[in-house]
Amino acid sequence: MRAFSAIVTREVALALRGGGDVLTLVLFFIITGAIVPFAVGPDKALLATIAPGIIWIAAFLAMLLGLDRLFRPDHEDGTLILLRHADLPLSAIIAAKVIAHWLLTALPLILASPILAVLLAMDLSSFWRMLLSLLLGTPALAAFGAIGAAVTVAIRRGGLIAPILIAPLSMPVLIFGTGAISATQSNAALLFLAALSLMAIALAPFAAALAISSAED
Amino acid sequence: MTIQTTPKQSWWSRIAHPGQFVARTRPLLWPLTILTALLFVVGLWFALFNSPQDYQMGDTVRIMYVHVPTARLSQFVYAVMAVSALGSLVWRHPMADVAMKAAAPPGATFTALALFTGSLWGRPTRGTFWEWDGRMTSTPVLLFIYLGIIALWRAFDDQLRAARVIAVFTLVGAVNIPIIKFSVDWWSTLHQPASVFRADGPRMPGSILTPLFVMFFAFTFLFPVLHLKAMHTEVSRRRVMALERQAAQGAKS
């Protein structure tokens, strides 16, 4: 458990010390959302209806953008090989990295989402529900992202392929995520979202570990 | 008359040798091709000339004879890929790698054909090329997964290493596809009532069922033909690459 938390702290410390990566992602998230009114026009009623979808898409894109730093730096400087020989199993290490990844990409986005909610004229009740759906759904996105990053880590220019692989797999998350915000059946969607996140977090580290260890040897 | 000295192997491990595999399956290729061609001739004759028009859809009902078999195959080919992925991960069977790689392009083609014919069929009968209906929405997702897998194969330099990584991803996809299917169904029933498809489903007359079945078998046999040929090509490609590598090493030393 100490090794597990050490890896989480290491990832967080590296990202926070390494400059504005986290802030860049948040900026990307907000700009993506803020572009939409320019594209569809400043009609407040229209914006309010499509706001949940826009915020989910912005969060989804921002998380895809951050995928490449999950394993690639460690692969390039050889840390990944060392981690494979650690006492802690590789899947546990990957679980720790997924948690750190969620803390570094999803949590800042969720904290920044009120800004977008104001810009897109969301009302308070749907904002709370969106916040809840983001909290429940982004772990699944992080877990799926870990599989994509692990599969492409051995490819030199794999950064472009991982989003293509992950996007179709993440479709249920988006469906239930935006479904949770619409008025009907929102509770069922939230429960499905939570189930999806739990399942993805439980299984993805094993799949990612398998992919990494078969890509390395 | 030679005396057998090696222990007798099962067919499973015998075909693990690429040369043995090609030698054993090449005799199958021509009969299968001829059978497929015959089935297509008979099926197309039934489908185009010897089946009635639908009383509502007219001649466009004939699109069904391509659409239904390809849509079935799009899922079947993924199952073939998933089983090969299992074979590649669990038994490290060399030909499972090749089978997995060779199945992806035909699978993507069948899926694309099913989508294309479906939208061609939908335009005159339902008045739209595309509708976000549950059954239709999960098919492009399947196509995206196929295309992602093909892109992954092309991105790797080392095909042996690629095989195991892609096997992992294929199995992840196999777990995920039912979830996607379920979520899409849930989503589309949320957005619109399931009234797009007319309920003339299984109550088809025999005159339509006969060409449908023949075309179904024709496409079902087309897949092994394409698959086997692609596997043989892949074996040859790997052999050429190995020879090139040997030649390069020989030139260096």
What are the tens digits of pLDDT across the range B97-111?
Answer: 999 999 999 999 999
Phi first, then psi: what are they for A56, rounded to 5°? -65, -40
* Domain residue limits, chain A: 2-216
Across the interface, whether the CB atoms of A192 and B161 are under 8 A apart is answered: no
**Residue given tokens 């008045």 in the structure block:** B127
Phi first, then psi: what are they for B54, rounded to 5°? -75, 145
* Max mean pLDDT range (A192-201, B63-72, B178-187): A192-201
**What's at B133, amino acid-wise?**
D
Is-contact B51 B207, C-beta < 8 A?
A: yes
pLDDT at residue A1 is higher than 50: yes
**B158 Rama sector, left if φ>0, alpha if ψ -120 to 50, beta otherwise:** beta
Phi first, then psi: what are they for B7, rounded to 5°? -65, 150
Find the largest Cα–Cα distance for chain B.
76
Q: Report the share of chain B in percent with pLDDT over 90.
A: 36
**Nearest-by-CA chain B residue for A151:** B165
Which chain B residues in 156-175 lie under 8 Å from chain A, judged by CB atoms? 156, 161, 164-169, 171-173, 175
Compute the nearest-CA separation of B139 from chain A (Å): 11
Task: Take residue A188 and report the two structure tokens written for it.
Answer: 């069922």
| Cα B174-B180-B186 angle, rounded to 5 deg | 150
Mean pLDDT, residues B124-153? 84
Mean pLDDT, residues A121-150? 90
| Cα A75-A79-A84 angle, rounded to 5 deg | 95
pLDDT at residue B211 is higher than 90: no
Where are the strands (E) in chain B, listed by range?
none
Task: Write the burial class of residue B200 (CB in 10 Å: 0-12 exposed, 13-18 middle, 19+ buried).
Answer: exposed
Across the interface, whether the CB atoms of B141 and A207 are under 8 A apart is answered: no
Compute the nearest-CA separation of A80 from chain B (Å): 16
Q: What is the pLDDT of residue B4?
A: 66
Mean pLDDT, residues B163-182? 88
* Angle between helix A90-101 and A124-152 (nearest 10): 140
Across the interface, whether the CB atoms of A161 and B186 are under 8 A apart is answered: no
**Residue given tokens 């179904």 in the structure block:** B216
pLDDT tens-digit readout, A73-112: 888 888 888 888 888 899 999 999 999 999 999 999 999 9
pLDDT at residue B194 is higher than 60: no
ipTM computed for the complex: 0.88
Q: Which residues of B touch A137 (CB under 8 A)?
A: none
Residue A150 or A179, more confident: A150
pLDDT at residue B186 is higher than 80: no
Confidence class for position B197, pLDDT limits 50, 70, 90: very low
Chain A interface, mutation test: which of B169, B175, B180, most A Cβ atoms within 10 Å?
B169
Distance CA A131, CA A56 (A): 10
Across the interface, whether the CB atoms of B173 and A169 are under 8 A apart is answered: yes
Q: What is the pLDDT of residue B196?
A: 41
Number of inter-chain CB pairs under 8 A, A vs B: 84
Compute the nearest-CA separation of A17 from chain B (Å): 32
Compute the nearest-CA separation of B164 from chain A (Å): 6
Count of other CB atoms within 10 angstroms of residue B199: 7
Distance CA A71, CA A98 (A): 10
What residues contact A67, with CB distance under 8 A and at least 6 apart? A145, A148, A149, A159, A162, A163, A166
Q: How far is CA B212 from CA B46, B51, B203, B222, B234, in A?
A: 9, 10, 13, 15, 33
Q: What is the pLDDT of residue B7?
A: 65
pLDDT at residue B140 is higher than 70: yes
Confidence (pTM): 0.88
pLDDT at residue B135 is higher than 90: no
Where are the strands (E) in B56-97, listed by range?
none
Length of chain A: 217
